[in-house]
Amino acid sequence: MSKKRNIEDAKDKKKVLITESGPGDATLKEKETDLSEISSAREYTFFQMVLYRFLRHKMAIAGFSIVCFLILLIIFSYINDLFPNLFNLPDFTRTSITNRFLPPLSPGHPLGTDNVGRDVMARLIYGGRISLFIGFTASISGGLVGGIIGAISGYFGGWIDSLIMRIVELFFSVPTLPILVIVARYFGGSPVTIILILVVFGWAGTARLIRGLVLQIKEYEYIEAAKAIGCSNARIIMRHVFPNTLAILLVTMTLRVGGAILFESTLSFLGLGVNPAWPTWGNMLSNAQNFMWNAPHLVIWPGLCIFLSILSFNFLGDGLRDALDPKLKNT
């Protein structure tokens, strides 16, 4: 397990690629394989290597499949909107007095019905639409805002940097949940305001991460070379700094989707999230809480959806991180 052996093995790149990735291994392993990757890069393109590493990551593949399945469900819900008679899916708003609290596997209602007779499966599919929409947009826009602010802070340094970092530090010690309760109650429960809240309270972490990265990149020779041949600041940031932060940005965004879904569902669960007229997994759980004695199954499904989607985004993010750059494993 010494560095020496790995350099020798590097000649046989296939062997190295197999030995370097094992599930759940700690810092020890990937530091040894740094050298082997440099030598094997000549024969594989970057994307081939990323793909290879990603495909070997079982958990990432599992996460990726679940995410794909969730996206398919969203597409399905849009097709169902256009052609309501195609799939025979019950309308998610349709109530019924006679069909209340139906257990799972009832005819016409595979996952049962809720307290006013609405089909649980249809509500889960449409609820997932809003939860995932909030998760995606909040993490992407939060990542971009944080990334840009972090890049500015790290690249320019000086008083801009210290000002931005003070603000970031403030955001780190803000008691998020109590403040969120007021903010969410004040701005009301539309998906857009929830996304805005998530961005405002979520950019700081990304900004600090990207700043650290930019500080590193700034020291590399190619930046010095670009400065020497007279590139403008904007060009250096766009052509040389930004592309090198993309990998980490992508990973944090993926990891943050889960966090955004969790926060949205927590707010909805507390009755502060999306308006209860539109189903989300959070407010379905909030509703189910009142009928635990009559219909325990109502508690299972929405929570399982939240849990599985967060888990799969976490796995996907971890897999992407290990695949894009194994050095980052513990960042």
Q: Which of 1, 2, 4, 28 is in the footprint of other proteins by CB under 8 A? A: 28
* Minimum CB distance to other proteins, residue 330 (Å): 8
Q: Structure tokens of 158?
A: 């000086």
Nearer to other proteins, 126 or 281 (CB): 281
> What proportions of the chain, in percent to the nearest 5, are helix, strand and coil?
75, 0, 25
From candidates 48, 289, 290, 331, binder to other proteins by CB under 8 A: 289
Smaller CB distance to other proteins: residue 158 or 178? 178
Neighbours of 235 (CB within 10 A): 11
* Residue number, 39 or 266, with CB nearest to other proteins: 266
- Shortest Cβ distance from residue 212 to other proteins (Å)? 17
Q: Which residues pair with 113 in a beta bridge?
A: 119
* Contact call for residue 174 and other proteins (CB under 8 A): yes
Chosen residue from 155, 201, 269, 278 binding other proteins by CB under 8 A: 269
Instruction: Find the shortest distance in angstroms from Cβ 293 to other proteins.
Output: 6
What's the first-to-final CA gap in the chain, in angstroms?
A: 23
Burial 284-321 (b: 16+ CB within 10 A, else e): bbbbbeebeeebebbbbbbbebbeebbebbbbbbbbbb
| CA atoms in the 13 A half-sphere facing the CB of 164 | 27
**Minimal distance in Å, beta carbon 307 to other proteins?**
6
Measured CA to CA, the distance from residue 77 to residue 122 in angstroms comes to 9
Contact flag: residue 158 with other proteins (CB under 8 A): no
Place of tokens 């392993």: 29
Q: Which stretch binds other proteins (CB under 8 A): 5-13, 81-89, 224-232, 283-291?
A: 283-291
Compute how many residues bind other proteins; rule: CB under 8 A: 44
How far apart are the C-alpha atoms of 29 and 6, rounded to whole Å?
10
Largest pairwise CA distance in the chain: 78
246 binds other proteins (CB under 8 A): no
Query: In angstroms, rounded to a whole number, what is the distance separating the alpha carbons of residues 271 and 44?
Result: 52
Measured CA to CA in angstroms, residue 303 lies from 3, 64, 250 at distances of 46, 20, 27
Query: Is there binding between residue 163 and other proteins (CB under 8 A)?
Result: no
Tell me if 288 contacts other proteins by CB under 8 A.
yes
Minimum CB–partner distance for residue 38 and other proteins (Å) = 24
Q: Residue 194 has which token pair?
A: 């929830």
Sites of contact with other proteins (CB under 8 A): 24-28, 166, 169-170, 172-179, 181-183, 185-186, 258, 262, 265-266, 269-270, 285, 288-289, 292-293, 296, 299-300, 302-303, 306-307, 310-311, 314-315, 330
